Structure 1
Amino acid sequence: MNSRDSILAAVARNQPARQPLPEVPAFVSEEADLAEKFARVAVSIGSKVFRVKDLEEVKQILLKEYSGARRIVAAFPELADMAEASVAPGADPHTFADVDLAVLPAQFGVAENSALWVTDTHLPLRVLPFICQHLALVVPQERLVPLMHQAYDVIGAQEYGFGTFIAGPSKTADIEQSLVLGAHGPRTLCVFLMEKL
């Protein structure tokens, strides 16, 4: 037996006894209107929030809010007349360095902190939410959960290769203690709470 195997065998013999997981209390939110709570928190951290009926309404708002955007990429075929709506699988991420606006779906949102769960299930390219100058996320209003505790219950039941929570535009105050937007990602975040997707 070599030294590596003897070390691993010693570690395996000296494992602590298994303990049952602790009981986690059921966390309950007192908030009646999750969309209102989500919007209030999202605005307080720098996002814009719009309640919309459908993707046509999303398109009209985007055309107004981002009229100067030169390159728009969207994960919605319904927006193909204003954006690149089909990204080739395996596309070189470096070719998206000039994206002004990315319009992407979020699987659900969390009312307590306005975090939106985005996975590679519906992303044309993983880098898009981070490399664009401006980000717009669309989430069905009925897919809001009150607290992060419920969010982790939802995530635990899903299968995905990549997932991230996004809340607000990218910001940091590490640079000379001045707030800088867009230092590590999009400068703005626009959230569309849609009645139905």
Structure 2
Amino acid sequence: MKPTPADTDARQAILDRINTKQVDIPPLPDVDVDRVIEFDQPIDTFIEMLAMVGGQAHQVDSQRDVRALLEEIDVFRTATRIVSLAPDSVAGTIDATQIDDPHDLATVDWTIARGEFMVAENGSIWIDGNSLPHRVLLFIAQYLAIVVPRSQIVSNMHQAYERIENFSARFGVFVSGPSKTADIEQSLVLGAHGCRKLQVFIVGDL
């Protein structure tokens, strides 16, 4: 049901009151860096943690190797609607920068995104919002692939949050594994709210 002008005015009045409310925020705790986890082989840990949450990682020497590995996946070979934000690795069939309405991306088969760095302790990748013509590209595609430099990895989230302070985008997100839920009958379902499968390509020449 379409909201009426009265509903819109009431909602805006509530938001305006919230914005004028001053909330005292306690200071963040100091982190003892000597007690923060570090990994001797962070890449190996990242791959292991990503697999635990349903993702799959591939180590490749060159961006040219990404397409070859994707071609081994049936659902990529048959895909017709591909948005690539990493054109040096994979050429796309849709130019998302020419799309004004994100709803037009509802039938995208694959999004190929660029990751800035990896986090070993939880198998996540930071995506800078400036690389996304539309935020929804990470979540609306049936399948997601992320290309990330092998040299760009941190051990833990404390280090990760220090890294993202240097990014200027108003939006960014940590991505790890395909979407999943087990709310219904305690049965695990992958791809419930986002991509069915996540492929991560750790590239040596980026």
TM-score, reference length from structure 2: 0.81
The ranges of structure 1 where at least 4 consecutive aligned residues each deviate by more than 3 angstroms after the TM superposition are 18-22, 27-30
**1:79 CA displacement:** 4.9
Rg (Cα) greater in structure: 1
How far 1:21 moved relative to its partner?
5.1
**1:177/1:161 CA distance change after superposition, 3 Å:** same
CA distance in 2, matches of 1:174, 1:88: 36
Q: Given that residues 77 and 86 in structure 1 are in contact (C-alpha distance below 8 angstroms), is that contact kept between their aligned partners in structure 2?
A: no
The within-5 A match list for 1:48-197 is 48-65=56-73, 66-79=76-89, 82-84=91-93, 86-88=95-97, 91-197=100-206
Instruction: Go from structure 1 to structure 2 and tell me whether the alpha carbon gap of 1:72 and 1:24 turns closer, same or farther (over 3 Å shift).
Output: same
Report the equivalent of 1:24. Answer: 31
Q: Secondary structure at the match of 1:121?
A: helix
Q: CA deviation at 1:188?
A: 0.2
Render the CA deviation track for 1:125-160: whole Å, top value 9, x for unaligned.
Answer: 211010000000111111110000100111123211
Residue 57 of structure 2 aligns to a residue whose secondary structure is strand
Tell me which amino acid in the other structure corresponds to 1:145.
Answer: V
Over the aligned positions, Cα root-mean-square deviation in angstroms equals 2.2
- Judge conservation of contact 1:86–1:124 (CA < 8 Å) in 2: no
Q: Separation in 2 of the partners of 1:25 and 1:41?
A: 24
Is the 1:77–1:85 contact (alpha carbons within 8 Å) kept by the matching residues of 2?
no
Is the contact between residue 75 and residue 85 of structure 1 (CA under 8 Å) also seen in structure 2?
no
Matches of 1:116 and 1:83 in 2, distance apart? 21
Unaligned runs of 5+ in 1: 1-10
In structure 2, list runs of 5 or more residues that go unmatched.
Answer: 1-20
Write the distance in 2 (CA, Å) between the matches of 1:19 and 1:171. Answer: 34
TM-score, normalised to structure 1, is: 0.84
Q: Tell me which amino acid in the other structure corresponds to 2:69.
A: I
Most deviating of 155-164 and 39-48: 155-164
Amino acid of the residue matched to residue 67 of structure 1? R
Contact 1:96 1:128 in 2 (8 A): yes
